[in-house]
Amino acid sequence: MDAVLEKKLMDAVWAANSLFARGKTSGSSANLSFMHEGKIYITASGTCFGTLTPDDFAIVSLEGECLNGKKASKELPLHRYYYESKPSVEAVIHTHGPYAVLWSCRKFEKSTDIIPNYTPYLKMKVGKIGLIPYGKPGSPELFSAFRENLDKGDAYILKNHGAIVGGKNIMEAFFGIEELEESAKLACMTDPSPVYELINSSI
């Protein structure tokens, strides 16, 4: 294994373990990926951020073809579309952080810049946060909604689902998902009259 790939894998494992250890995700719900030599390295289906190792990555082509026999996370299309849309992005992290999820359940009047700027850091470290309409996790509807709304922000909140953030490398994506979660926490704590929206359990 070349040194660059080894460093990327170690950073990805560290970021995943750290997020899990501090309650920023749970179970096998999160996924992350990074680019290396024109291929996507993404956490394999069913893996847990808390126990992730360098062997827990599927390798796929930009077209989604499996290259190492491991089944990729079912939300691979979210990562593929992120990379296609934003050439500067080389890593993507998707989590179900509790405050990002809570904020995602609010009723929104707009679909871009959806987290208030209580501090300057979200804009500085991540940019604008776009809203992706609800689609069942892992469904074609979710993937289509994501692809069609990538112009709404630099990173995103998936309605009634969680957050997804890209960066130039794993550590930048990690810092971004952390900042989004903290900004969502502040927003949840300061919103005086939240209105929540439930999903239709049949979709």
Catalytic amino acids? 75, 121
Q: Other C-beta atoms within 10 Å of 171: how many?
A: 15
HEC-encoded secondary structure of 76-143: HHHHHHHHHHCCCCCEEEEECCHHHHHHHCECCCCCCCCCCCCCCHHHHHCCCEEEECCCCCCCHHHH
Q: Which of 158, 159, 156 is nearest to 177 (CA)?
A: 156
* 9 vs 24: CA distance, rounded Å: 20
